[in-house]
Amino acid sequence: MTPRVDAIEALTTRTSPPGLVAPGPDQASLERMLQAAVRAPDHKRLRPWRFIVIEGASREAFGDVLATSLRRREPEVPEAALAKERTKPLRAPLIVVVAARLREHKGVPAVEQIVASGAAAQNMLVAAHALGYGGFWRTGAAAYDDEVKRALGLRSDDAIVGFVYLGTPAGIAAPLPPAEIASHVTYWTAPVGRLQEADA
């Protein structure tokens, strides 16, 4: 699919749609999203990200994994809550689980590897928007559950940074609020004494 918006417009207009329906991204579009993902900033080029694609009937099997995980964490959980957990993967035609395969590196602490994988997830969402698809990012307790990780082929010390749901937007998202940035930005300058030393 040909991108519908340029990079700046995609970054400033992307939002989470109220729902996602079929069709999901075709293989060519998914590959473009993943190509965008792996261009995320990556200290020492460790490439910590892992992408696990779940689609079709596999979503129902993943729903069973989520429900089992919830029952193990909360043995008294009501059946209605289990049923809701089981249907979560059906909220979109396709899910990409974005994880960080963490490794020991004296120059790249784990937090940097997790942030790099989070940047990859963000790139994927922006690329999806640019290609005319919608997406939203979810985590929750299942993202930190070792049994869920194991079911997905991950290690317990890997980090799931997000379940990225992808599909065609259903309905119109609420209007974005004005992009107010002033209260979030500070321009730092060196103390006066330091500036005088630098000029000396």
Q: What is the pLDDT of residues 141-188, one digit of tens each?
A: 999 999 999 999 999 999 999 999 999 999 887 777 887 899 999 999
Going from N- to C-terminal start, the domains of the chain cover: 7-173
φ and ψ of 173, to 5 deg: -65, 155
Q: What is the pLDDT of residues 18-45, one digit of tens each?
A: 999 999 999 999 999 999 999 999 999 9
- Between 197 and 28, the higher pLDDT residue: 28
Query: SS3 sequence, the chain?
Result: CCCCCCHHHHHHHCCCCCCEECCCCCHHHHHHHHHHHCCCCCHHHCCCEEEEEEECCHHHHHHHHHHHHHHHHCCCCCHHHHHHHHHHHHHCCEEEEEEECCCCCCCCCHHHHHHHHHHHHHHHHHHHHHCCCEEEEECCHHHHCHHHHHHCCCCCCCEEEEEEEEEEECCCCCCCCCCCCHHHCCCCCCCHHHHHHHHC
Q: What is the pLDDT of residues 38-85, one digit of tens each?
A: 999 999 999 999 999 999 999 999 999 999 999 999 999 999 999 999
- Between 195 and 121, the higher pLDDT residue: 121
Q: What is the pLDDT of residue 177?
A: 81
- The CATH code for residues 7-173 is 3.40.109.10
Above 90 in pLDDT, residue 193? no
Q: What is the pLDDT of residue 5?
A: 72
Closest CA to 137 of 114, 161, 111, 156: 161
Q: What is the pLDDT of residue 197?
A: 63
The pLDDT of 122-137, averaged and rounded, is 96
